Structure 1
Amino acid sequence: MSLQPIKLYGHANGPNPWKVALLLSELGVPHEIDFMQMTEVKKEPYILKNPNGRLPTIEDPNTGIVLWESGAILEYLVETYDKERKFSFEPGTHEYFHTKQWLHFQMSGQGPYFGQAVWFSLYHPEKIESARVRYINEIRRVSEVLNTALAGREWLVGGKFTYADVAFITWFGVIPWITGDEIDMEKDLPNLYAWLQRMKARPAIAETLKRKEEINAKESK
């Protein structure tokens, strides 16, 4: 049975929509991205789909579901489209719960703290150095947790690449953008750095990240 494309509502620069796009690409599920302006997400018709007024949201014509929150979307995608469990594990196993554990860490730790670091580094109308430093230090802390966990292993759970690994990729792209040379990932976080390079070398990941860069370059003109 051929699948209809999933519609992914996103933003050209937004890490959360792109992490959904990365998993869709790895799963080989057809999809199209509706790139929205931030002025559109707080009003109708978008808030009728996502009352939180944030990105991403998906509409899946194959099942009829509309779903928001990127972590929930990743879980939905593997439960619906990863029947061979290439990127997930059998429900009830330790690995099944450990994969959820890392996804929740990404959602509660990496995303919010990295996002606040971006805000206080680039967008807050007042320069509050103490706030910027706090969130840069949180970037270091979250990164060190992962660097320690990845010692002696290639992937976070069960010796294979999963949706938990995918979830972390895009937010790490903000580090050189907002910290310059304050954080040297290759030198100070070698396990984390090698893990990111392994993921970026995967064909589906590489192709999607290249598409992201091209769209970002187009949007910035």
Structure 2
Amino acid sequence: MQNKFNAIYHDLADKIIHHIYPVGSYLPSETQLSELYGTSRETIRKALSELLTNGFIQKIRGKGSVVLNLQRFNFPVSGITSFKELNKSQHMNSSTEVLCIEDQHVPLENFDYQSATPLKATYVERLRKIDNEPIVLDRDYILKNIVPEISQTVAADSLYDYFENQLGLVISYATKTITVEHPTKEEAKLLELNEQQDIVVVRSQTYLEDTTLFQFTESIHRPDKFSFVDFARRQKIN
């Protein structure tokens, strides 16, 4: 049933993204969806719950599930999501170009982080493109005491898939800082910006389940191409 509800969720999300179910319209009822997908109402409820959690719909008592206004290609500010996962969930025609993999020390001054000794890392620089247009420049510093080596193949695919599914690391949380800065000549060239355009820089420090720091990241974004949105639901604290 797990695969079934996931398939239904992705199918409904795809139809919302491509306006088959436009903003402000209501999805078919649970009974209608159950008949349409040939499954139980329990499975349908799980798929709808996932749509609700991810901001695709809002349930209105007595009316059903109304489709919310969903902007495409939004980077979640508070979540920890790989570019590959974002590409899959938002149906982006994206590609990744690996620009550099080499051993470096983490530039701690960029992250406002103090350490008594230099931190050895594998530096991975990747250019993200959508429809062959440069959108994001990612610079990752993966601490070598946690992940000794990273291959070109892994960097071109997904670091997080490698960390979690091959190395068995449990990624738990991250701290993030977002700033607007002027690009260097190299950054402007790679992102095809003119001298007047600024960049949005998201700096992250990511930790494992046992609170071990293992990754520093600088994601440099073209502000004319991406918006930064967090979808939040009200939770009362008693």
TM bucket, shorter chain: under 0.3
Output the TM-score relative to the length of structure 2.
0.25
The answer to which structure has the higher helix fraction is 1
Tell me which structure has the larger Cα radius of gyration.
2
Output the TM-score relative to the length of structure 1.
0.26
The answer to which structure has the higher strand fraction is 2
